[in-house]
Chain A
Amino acid sequence: MKFSILNIKSLSGSKAQIYSIKYEEKYASELKIFIDKFNDSHTEIVNEAIQRIQLIAQKEGVQDSFFRRECPKSHNVFRLLETKELRLYCIKLDSTILLFGYSGTKKFNKIKLKDNPSLQQEVKTLQKIEDAIKERIKKGELSITPEGLKGNLENLEI
């Protein structure tokens, strides 16, 4: 599966750089798809989520309590959005880099992660993406700098 990583400049700030995964077969990044998918039905929640991301990146910083871990400690897939209806997941590459991936409705996530194969699959895909990025960092193809991720962020593969 091929993907690119898009830096979203208007959401990024001095405390964190915001990125979103764009799968080759999809028309836009996952964060834009989140807005497109839910903005009509959950306008207020989507507005709040995007505003929260910007404030975390520009003012508050990536505080642990803002995120809920969704995977074993070997990986860093977290849920940012905790509302009655929507979920939004990201990879915390480090304390200054957030990479947004899958979003979904509560209906999808009604049962716990361990009993929900579809959601498990989404989280596993994000874990694979984290592995792929870390592998490239090891090889020196990507690097984490104070300005964010540097290197070729396009045509990556898991």
Chain B
Amino acid sequence: MKNKIKKNINEQEFFDYFLKSIPKKTKRSVRISLDIASQINFILKQKNISQREFARLLNKKESEISKWLSGNHNFTVNTLATIEVVLGEDIINVPMYAKKELKYILIKTYSRSFSYLEPGQLILSPLDPSQISNANSHYIINYNKDNYETETLH
């Protein structure tokens, strides 16, 4: 989609308008590309690996690596995975919101059926009982505001 810029404005205003007209999706993709390039650059510096050595490790031409690190490359997941393996570091970190938002509380186990737990043993479980079956295969039998007991489902 073409950018629509007002006419008869000075250059400062022109750039203000132009920036505002750039689609959010483009802004985000440019940011991600630059972030990835910066992250790879940072790891290469930290590990003292030259672009030439990096190219050799990936079996690529140095000119291709140079394009990757220019912040102007559309990486595939496969390429990122290869880079992560070669460098032994994470390049991207996908936030796992479902796991992040879980809070844990101490609960008391109820059943002998847990092979790895003794009855009465205290364990940490998600605060939200609805998450328990996903997290531990424990099931609620008695829940109140502050505490709950669990047993396996037969």
Contacts and interface: CB of A to CB of B under 8 A. Distances in A.
Interface in B1-54: 1-3, 11-12, 14-16, 18-19, 22-23, 26-27, 29-31, 34-35, 37-38, 41, 51
Interface residues of B, number: 29
A35 B18 contact: yes
Interface in B85-134: none
B34 A65 contact: no
A44 B30 CA distance: 11
Contact of A32 (B14, B26, B67, B69): B14
30 contacts: A6-B11, A9-B15, A10-B12, A10-B15, A11-B19, A31-B15, A32-B14, A35-B18, A40-B2, A43-B3, A44-B26, A47-B26, A48-B29, A48-B72, A50-B19, A51-B31, A55-B30, A55-B31, A56-B34, A56-B71, A60-B35, A63-B41, A63-B71, A66-B69, A66-B70, A66-B71, A67-B70, A68-B70, A81-B72, A83-B72
Nearest 6 CB-CB pairings of A with B: A65-B69, A51-B30, A47-B22, A10-B15, A47-B26, A10-B16
